């Protein structure tokens, strides 16, 4: 048996792309949880302050436990995300370092430190700050998480649709900062991502509440949490899908190859049918798929609200790209985009439907256990917590893989953005990063599980003016400590 060198089996570019994909998908899934849970906890505390109902205080402190742990794990994954950029993508960093400067400064030097400072005020400010100031500190954290997402997505949107720049000695330099921050794609992208994060947080809150209700534990309190999760999730999911639709319309203008690949549309059609589910070879122009469920004219209608519009196919777009940029393959991985798009959309629709069903069931007076639909809901809701992560992964795959072979659309190819590293070095860093991620995820999930199993803090007759109980702490409170916010 002949030993083949690593470079003959896999290239530095391949490994770097895998590392970027895995670190990005893991990190942004945790970011979504953090944004969504922080909003939910802030809303619970707001309802406590307005109603003075202690159940909302107990729920606030209970759901704060996974919220704080997600913040901690997110810091770890975010640092590694930064490291892999510096190590594996020096060509990319050199090319658009000037463009990235302002958004990353806003995220790292602005939003991140604001989150840290005000989260500290909130954690250690119970009973020390006035009730309104204490609550305001958490809403500042919520706002800072959105600003942080805005900064990162501003940079990412520039990669999808560059503007406000000039090329100087092979580098992009800023000519108009406002064109970067107010890129038309930024607003839709931020709205889509933030609403998806709120849907993710709602799914997590609902899953925990359904689990506890199913056990018959503190049913009245967790029923309130479930209602809040369904209301926020239904609104966020609907708005997120609306923003996502118009984001797709924009992509059809600026990145038609991405959208054609997402539909496996090889031949230009007028009007174009929307493929719902297809079986067949999608890697090249296959003619008719073996099986294809499609709706005639619907793709044209969704793209520009016209049943007669033309949607260009992959074959024509490939010829146009070769004429503009020279010979090469400008077609992304069609099967991956086709199915990632459907996983994203299908998971999102299923989750929104679950939120609507939950709201209908929870608004009725009868207990959930009293009806078959309620019992099914209690079993399905904890499992459905996986859906927002599947949808998020599908969306990021569509957004990033759909741009290939470009790292920056129309300007810098991915093969020119990668660092000149030996493949073995990237393998080592990939193994190390994934190992750290696995350790952080294991510790985080085990800690969350332990904290959630402890249940709600005991009722103490607390008020906004006197939020801390006067009795001495129990052994459980001593062991959970400040992380669980069991005062």
The span from the CA of 116 to the CA of 11, in Å, is 39
Question: Cβ atoms within 10 A of the Cβ of 452, count?
Answer: 16
Q: What is the pLDDT of residue 391?
A: 94
CA distance readout (Å), 411 to 162, 171, 256, 325: 8, 10, 16, 10
pLDDT band (50, 70, 90) for residue 413:
very high
DSSP string computed for 397-411: HHHHHTTTTEEETTT
Question: Cβ atoms within 10 A of the Cβ of 251, count?
Answer: 22
Mean pLDDT, range 291-313, rounded to an integer: 79
pLDDT band (50, 70, 90) for residue 477:
very low
Residue 279, H or E segment: strand 274-279
pLDDT greater than 50 at residue 479: no
Of 239-248, 262-271, 415-424, 431-440, the poorest mean pLDDT is in 262-271
Q: What is the pLDDT of residue 266?
A: 87
Share of the chain above pLDDT 90, in %: 54
The 10s digit of each residue's pLDDT in 209-264 is: 999 999 999 999 999 999 999 999 999 999 999 999 898 888 888 899 998 898 88
Give pTM, 2 decimals. 0.90
Of 75-84, 321-330, 473-482, give the range with the top mean pLDDT.
321-330
* Mean pLDDT for the chain overall: 87
pLDDT band (50, 70, 90) for residue 480:
very low
Q: What is the pLDDT of residue 142?
A: 96
The 10s digit of each residue's pLDDT in 144-200 is: 999 999 988 998 999 999 998 999 988 999 999 888 888 888 999 999 999 999 999
Which carries the bigger pLDDT value, residue 370 or residue 2? 370
pLDDT band (50, 70, 90) for residue 37:
very high
């Amino acid at each position: 048996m002949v030993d083949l060198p690593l470079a003959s089996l896999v290239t530095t570019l391949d490994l770097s792309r895998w590392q970027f994909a895995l670190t990005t998908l893991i990190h942004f899934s945790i970011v979504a949880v953090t944004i969504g849970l922080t909003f939910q906890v802030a809303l619970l505390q707001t309802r406590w302050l307005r109603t003075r109902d202690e159940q909302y205080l107990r729920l606030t402190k209970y759901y704060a436990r996974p919220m704080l742990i997600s913040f901690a794990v997110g810091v770890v994954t975010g640092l590694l995300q930064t490291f892999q950029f510096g190590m594996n993508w020096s060509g990319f960093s050199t090319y658009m370092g000037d463009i990235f400067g302002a958004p990353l400064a806003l995220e790292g030097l602005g939003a991140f430190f604001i989150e840290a400072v005000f989260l500290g005020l909130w954690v250690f400010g119970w009973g020390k700050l006035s009730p309104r100031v204490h609550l305001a500190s958490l809403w500042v954290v919520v706002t800072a998480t959105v600003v942080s997402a805005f900064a990162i997505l501003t940079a990412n949107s520039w990669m999808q649709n560059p503007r406000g720049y000039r090329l100087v000695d092979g580098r992009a330099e800023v000519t108009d900062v406002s064109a970067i921050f107010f890129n038309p794609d930024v607003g839709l992208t931020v709205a889509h991502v933030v609403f998806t994060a709120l849907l993710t947080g709602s799914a997590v809150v609902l899953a925990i509440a359904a689990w506890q209700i199913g056990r018959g534990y503190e049913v009245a309190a967790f029923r309130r949490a479930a209602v809040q999760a369904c209301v926020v999730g239904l609104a966020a999911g609907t708005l997120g899908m609306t923003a996502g639709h118009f984001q797709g319309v924009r992509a059809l203008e600026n990145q038609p190859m991405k959208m054609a690949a997402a539909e496996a549309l090889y031949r230009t059609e007028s009007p174009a049918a929307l493929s719902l589910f297809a079986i067949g070879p999608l890697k090249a122009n296959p003619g008719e798929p073996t099986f294809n469920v499609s709706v005639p004219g619907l793709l044209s209608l969704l793209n520009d609200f016209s049943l007669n519009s033309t949607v260009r196919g992959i074959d024509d777009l490939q010829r146009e790209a070769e004429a503009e940029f020279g010979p090469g393959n400008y077609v992304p991985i069609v099967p991956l985009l086709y199915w990632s798009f459907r996983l994203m959309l299908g998971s999102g629709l299923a989750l929104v439907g679950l939120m609507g069903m939950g709201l209908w069931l929870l608004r009725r007076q009868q207990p959930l256990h009293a009806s078959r639909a309620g019992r099914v809901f209690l079993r399905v809701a904890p499992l459905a917590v996986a859906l927002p992560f599947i949808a998020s992964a599908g969306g990021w795959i569509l957004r990033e893989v759909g741009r290939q072979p470009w790292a920056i659309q129309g300007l810098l190819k991915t093969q020119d953005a990668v660092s000149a590293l030996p493949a073995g070095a990237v393998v080592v860093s990939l193994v190390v990063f994934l190992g750290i991620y696995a350790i952080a995820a294991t510790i985080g999930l085990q800690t969350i599980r332990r904290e959630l199993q402890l249940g709600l803090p005991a009722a103490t007759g607390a008020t906004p003016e006197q939020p801390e109980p006067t009795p001495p702490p129990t052994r459980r409170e001593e062991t959970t400590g400040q992380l669980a916010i069991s005062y």
